[in-house]
Amino acid sequence: MLKFIDGGVCAAQGFRAAGVHAGVKTHAEWKKDVALIVSDVDCAAAAVFTKNVVKAAPIHVDLRHLADGKARAVIANSGNANACAPQGEENAERMCAAAAGTLGCKPEDVLVSSTGVIGQRINVEAIEAAVPALCAALERSAKASDAAGHAIMTTDTTKKEVAVETTVGGRTVRMGGVAKGSGMIHPNMGTMLCFLTTDCAISPEMIRTALLETVNVSFNRISVDGDTSTNDTCLVLANGLAGNETIAARGPDYDAFLEALRALCTELARKMASDGEGARHLITCTVRGAGSEQSAETIAKSVVSSTLTKAAIFGADANWGRVLCAMGYSGEEFDPDKVSVRFASAAGEIQVCADGRGLDFDEDLAKKILTEHDVEINIAMGEGEASCTCWGCDITYDYIKINGDYRT
Amino acid sequence: MLKFIDGGVCAAQGFRAAGVHAGVKTHAEWKKDVALIVSDVDCAAAAVFTKNVVKAAPIHVDLRHLADGKARAVIANSGNANACAPQGEENAERMCAAAAGTLGCKPEDVLVSSTGVIGQRINVEAIEAAVPALCAALERSAKASDAAGHAIMTTDTTKKEVAVETTVGGRTVRMGGVAKGSGMIHPNMGTMLCFLTTDCAISPEMIRTALLETVNVSFNRISVDGDTSTNDTCLVLANGLAGNETIAARGPDYDAFLEALRALCTELARKMASDGEGARHLITCTVRGAGSEQSAETIAKSVVSSTLTKAAIFGADANWGRVLCAMGYSGEEFDPDKVSVRFASAAGEIQVCADGRGLDFDEDLAKKILTEHDVEINIAMGEGEASCTCWGCDITYDYIKINGDYRT
């Protein structure tokens, strides 16, 4: 039975975490800015990275370190993206070497991630100096996961942490994750970092397969501002300490693992969308009755990515014309005259469009529905049987404020 | 010799215009909301429409009326888009019939455009009632073009009107246009209406060819918010009164005509980008040294469409990392290590990135440069010889305000 539990990245057996202040950004003296997540034993490891042509240095390093499908630890910092920066790969390697030196493993068994400002040399000396304290702080506790989660936050207003428990091959298996992502979250990996840990025994090949399948239906279905970043990384470490028979192929065990991983990542994705920079609303758009799941996904993504729809939700304005408009420029073919649209939230549900035409509706009720934090846009296409849900957020004055002067 | 002149849509011989208040939106009693542009004689006519699957009713009507490549007049309203609205096509036909009845031409020789709120029935009775006054107000004057230009404005803060004069086949040829577009302007025709008139003699086939070629390098190179609309229309009427030999094929005459049309439309496009909803800055992004013009265009569009870059320009923040990031997710392949970036304006020019790496630069000068209204982002790719310029604007608090409650 799948259930949500506490503990974040420390929920699974054999994982410890820590987060400390190293001083990557000199003028944020209170903020934890370096995180470390370590397994007691070697892990099968896999990662998905940004599709941006401009990739940050840590990604190039991780690609090399993941060549053998194994890892022991992840070191990550906020405050500097180490992208388009002088000595980028050299400094990313130094971060791995520093962690490996204190942990007693090979530098190639350490993965590295960075997030923050692009184009400035990372203060790797500050990170190296902080590694002993970081390793000393390692422990397996909810508090330690919390510290790691906070250390990777940038403009995030809340820490994102989830853990689940399930049964795989008769054994209790746990998995958990911490993530950051607030601006630049978009389908195909916007600036987000996500570190997942599990004690499931699974081969490097199957963990890679599971991660890809899961990212496509979770993180790739959220959008904050349509920008995708240089640093996006979602990685998973599986140390096998749950004692289940190693998953080495598809089958019931893989399915059980995948179900849990999907639940974990979908919840993390929703938390990211909900904490979009400056956001006041989580927008959940579900497209039903589409000709294919791919078509439903493209249309739902187009709606949650539409700046005009986002602005309308910010204003609690039931401007469904913008929903139809965003559907129409998604690139998918469909018959507008079959479309119906409903807005829903904890305050109720209201149909605003049927057969592609506006309905008279109660504007006061619509306003009430759209004033809730979590709002749904439910679309029926009348084309087929497929459906898909994507998540986004509204665009607000605070988004502009946050991004109008990000570097200072 | 190509030169800019006054007169807008009335600059060319034989064109009259008018704009009056009909009451399409009841609570804007002062605002002109219906425009009429009429040629004294039949015109070769062509139009380019939105690629949105959801097309407003007037577009379906125009497609029928343009089947013979001819037209005499255009009637247009603001305040209601007549899209996804009850009796849409019927009401669009009624607008044409009303104008034709008073002008004494066939309804099929009248084109129709609408812009405004989606999904509500258009008050066609108010428009019909206003047609006699509209026809009575027709005249060939700068004032009449101005009235027509104002009548199609929605959230625009300035009227967009340009006219040029050139020589084709030894004759003086004039052309002019009025346009609206403020939000939802995007490559591939965001919500914009643009009505062009010329006294050049040109065949329906060649005017269509010229319009397509011109739109691709002018209106399709601007972006305001990435949304494309249900109503976008750019149409041209050519009445032949300049007396040149009719252009019926490519050649020097066609080239002279195309050069003038491109100058006209590029200037209108820049005015639209500059008046993007809430915008404080016109952003001109020029990509040089690209592998192909198509590649340069895709990259430049990606930069001017990036919400994060737009927010940085709003904040006068020289955050060139976002420029590289937007280039990187454009879908084009290139070597980031060859890229250099400069910001420029009337206040000076500053290089911020060379060979894909950040340079130390004078932050005060950068701030000064980016505080100007017109700012340039100049990118050198180091890949080839091709270049392209695209235009956009910053995103501001006012954009959110305007679009948070557009319907009321």
Using an 8 Å CB-CB cutoff, list chain A residues near B280: none
Q: What are phi and psi of A44, to 5 degrees?
A: -70, 135
Q: What is the pLDDT of residue A156?
A: 81
Report the Cα–Cα distance between both ends of chain B, in Å, rounded. Answer: 48
Taking the mean position of all CA atoms in its chain, how far away is CA B81?
17
Residue of B50, B319, B332 to mutate, interface with A, max A Cβ within 10 Å: B319
Q: Catalytic: which of A115, A154, A166, A191?
A: A191
With tokens 């980028």, the residue in question is A88
Cα A368 to Cα A114, A170, A247, A273, A378: the distances in Å are 41, 48, 49, 22, 17
Tell me the three-class secondary structure of A49-98, residue by residue.
Answer: ECCCCCCCHHHHHHHHHCCCCEEEEEEEEEEECCCCCCCHHHHHHHHHHH
Q: Which of B52, B330, B333 minimises the CB distance to A329?
A: B52
Pair type for strands A233-238 and A192-198: parallel
Cα B115 to Cα B53, B83, B236, B395, B407: the distances in Å are 17, 9, 18, 22, 13
**pLDDT tens digits, one per residue of B29-82:** 778 999 999 999 999 999 999 888 888 999 999 999 999 999 999 999 999 999
Interface of B with A in 296-315 (CB under 8 A): 305-308, 311-312, 314-315
Q: Which of A261-275, B16-30, B231-245, B370-384 has the lowest mean pLDDT?
A: B16-30
pLDDT at B346 over 70: yes
Q: CB atoms < 10 A from the CB of B111, how many?
A: 27
Residue of A191, A229, A280, A308 to mutate, interface with B, max B Cβ within 10 Å: A308
Q: What are phi and psi of B92, to 5 degrees?
A: -65, -40
Q: What is the pLDDT of residue A280?
A: 86
A198 in active site: no
Q: What is the DSSP letter of B113?
A: E
Interface of A with B in 195-224 (CB under 8 A): none
Q: What is the pLDDT of residue B191?
A: 66
**pLDDT tens digits, one per residue of A199-224:** 999 999 999 999 999 998 898 888 76
Mean of the per-residue pLDDT values of chain B: 91
- How many alpha carbons fall within 13 Å on the CB side of residue A69? 10
Q: What is the pLDDT of residue B188?
A: 38
Q: Which sequence positions of B are flagged as catalytic?
A: 191
Average pLDDT over residues B324-332: 90
Q: What is the pLDDT of residue B189?
A: 38
Residue of A51, A227, A298, A332 to mutate, interface with B, max B Cβ within 10 Å: A227
Average pLDDT over residues A304-330: 88
A319 contact B CB<8A? yes
The three-class DSSP label of residue B203 is coil
CA dist., res. B233 & res. B194, Å (int): 6
Using an 8 Å CB-CB cutoff, list chain B residues near A406: 311-312, 315, 317, 319
Percentage, residues of chain B above pLDDT 90: 71
CA dist., res. A83 & res. A133, Å (int): 26
Contact yes or no for A172/A212 (Cβ under 8 A): no
B85 contact A CB<8A? yes
Q: Which of A326, A330, A405 minimises the CB distance to B317?
A: A405
CB contact (8 A) between residue B325 and residue A117: no
- Least CA distance to A312: which residue of chain B? B404
Q: What is the pLDDT of residue A195?
A: 97
Taking the mean position of all CA atoms in its chain, how far away is CA A48?
11
A51 contact B CB<8A? yes
CB contact (8 A) between residue B327 and residue A54: yes
pLDDT at B407 over 60: no
Q: CB atoms < 10 A from the CB of B401, how many?
A: 15
CB contact (8 A) between residue A358 and residue B120: yes
A393 against B177, higher pLDDT: B177
CB contact (8 A) between residue A358 and residue B84: yes
pLDDT at A190 over 90: no
Q: What is the pLDDT of residue B224?
A: 60
Mean of the per-residue pLDDT values of chain A: 91
CA dist., res. A395 & res. A401, Å (int): 11
A328 contact B CB<8A? yes
Interface of A with B in 124-183 (CB under 8 A): 183
CA dist., res. B37 & res. B246, Å (int): 23
Tokens of B163: 């006219």
Percentage, residues of chain A above pLDDT 90: 71
**pLDDT tens digits, one per residue of B275-327:** 777 788 999 999 999 999 999 999 999 999 888 888 889 888 888 988 998 99
Residue type, B146: D
CB contact (8 A) between residue A85 and residue B308: no
A51 against B370, higher pLDDT: B370
Which positions ≥6 away from A27 have C-beta within 8 Å? Answer: none
Q: What is the pLDDT of residue A226?
A: 56
CA dist., res. B163 & res. B263, Å (int): 9
Residue of A51, A84, A353 to mutate, interface with B, max B Cβ within 10 Å: A84
Q: What is the pLDDT of residue B402?
A: 67
Q: What is the DSSP string of A135-159?
A: HHT-BSSHHHHHHHHHHT-SS-SS-
**pLDDT tens digits, one per residue of A237-261:** 999 999 999 999 999 999 999 999 9
Q: What is the pLDDT of residue A188?
A: 39
Which positions ≥6 away from B42 have C-beta within 8 Å? Answer: B70, B71, B72, B109, B239
Cα A275 to Cα A42, A93, A399, B23, B277: the distances in Å are 34, 31, 11, 43, 26
Q: What is the pLDDT of residue A189?
A: 38
Residue of B223, B403, B406 to mutate, interface with A, max A Cβ within 10 Å: B403
Q: What is the pLDDT of residue A185?
A: 46
Using an 8 Å CB-CB cutoff, list chain A residues near B317: 404-408
Tokens of A45: 């490891």
B184 against A152, higher pLDDT: A152
pLDDT at A96 over 80: yes
Is the alpha carbon torsion for A142, A147, A152, A153 positive or negative? Answer: positive
Which ranges in B33-185 belong to alpha helices (H)? 57-65, 88-103, 124-136, 142-151
ipTM: 0.70
Contact yes or no for B309/A118 (Cβ under 8 A): no
CA dist., res. B38 & res. B15, Å (int): 6
Which ranges in B191-282 belong to alpha helices (H)? 204-216, 252-274
- Least CA distance to B306: which residue of chain A? A227
Using an 8 Å CB-CB cutoff, list chain B residues near A353: 84, 119
Contact yes or no for B292/A193 (Cβ under 8 A): no
A49 contact B CB<8A? no
Tokens of A261: 């991983």
Using an 8 Å CB-CB cutoff, list chain B residues near A395: 400
Q: What is the pLDDT of residue B99?
A: 98
Q: What is the pLDDT of residue A315?
A: 86
Average pLDDT over residues A126-130: 97
CB contact (8 A) between residue B327 and residue A357: no
- Least CA distance to A315: which residue of chain B? B404
- Least CA distance to B184: which residue of chain A? A308
CB contact (8 A) between residue B120 and residue A86: no
Virtual torsion, Cα B134, B138, B143, B146, nearest 10 deg: 50
A322 contact B CB<8A? yes
CA dist., res. B317 & res. B328, Å (int): 20
pLDDT at A403 over 50: yes
Average pLDDT over residues A262-275: 90
Using an 8 Å CB-CB cutoff, list chain B residues near A280: none
Contact yes or no for A97/A112 (Cβ under 8 A): no
Q: What is the pTM of this model?
A: 0.79
pLDDT at B272 over 60: yes
Contact yes or no for A212/A219 (Cβ under 8 A): no
CA dist., res. B205 & res. B196, Å (int): 16
Q: What is the DSSP string of A205-220?
A: HHHHHHHHHHHHTTGG
Using an 8 Å CB-CB cutoff, list chain A residues near B117: 321
Q: Which of A156-160, B139-143, B255-259 has the lowest mean pLDDT?
A: A156-160
Q: What is the pLDDT of residue A186?
A: 47
CA dist., res. A73 & res. A94, Å (int): 14
Virtual torsion, Cα A329, A334, A337, A343, nearest 10 deg: -60
**pLDDT tens digits, one per residue of B165-196:** 999 999 999 999 999 976 544 433 346 899 99
Using an 8 Å CB-CB cutoff, list chain A residues near B314: 400, 404
Contact yes or no for A378/A304 (Cβ under 8 A): no
Most confident of the ranges B73-87, B196-210, B317-331? B196-210
